[in-house]
Amino acid sequence: MLLATIYFLVGTVISGVVALVLVKQKGGEVSRAAVALGLAFLPFGLALLLMRLGVGPAKSIANLIEFGIYGLIGGAIPLGQLIKVKGVPGEMIVAGIACIGVTMVYMLMPVLPETRFG
């Protein structure tokens, strides 16, 4: 799971930096966006839960690259503050959409073949 966490963090950093730059350019609060980046762990936890429960197709060690995709999805959560909805923070809306996206990727990603060296 260490490799999955590394993939996830790399994906989160890549899309999180882009999201923070876009929030700053659009006049949003960068500190609020940085705090909202913590919500990126919701999709990560959901993917781990799905894997632990055995929902969807069986996964091989080659499927750990999916966690980079989950990080890319989760890193976009700070962009939610640019969505204006009365009574609901936009980050929560985007976090829900991110969880739906993670579930879709998890369920639709086929089992990748493992490579053997030697």
Tell me the percentage of the chain whose pLDDT exceeds 90: 60
Q: Report the SS3 class of residue 58.
A: coil
Task: Name the packing angle between helices 66-74 and 2-25 (round to 10°).
Answer: 30
pLDDT for res 116: 62
Question: Above 90 in pLDDT, residue 113?
Answer: no
Question: Considering only CA atoms, which of 89, 64, 56, 79 is closest in space to residue 10?
Answer: 64
Least confident of 20-29, 35-44, 55-64, 100-109: 55-64
Could you read off the pLDDT of 41-86 as tens digits, one per residue? 999 999 889 888 888 777 777 788 889 999 999 999 999 999 988 8
Q: Are 81 and 89 in contact (CB under 8 A)?
A: yes
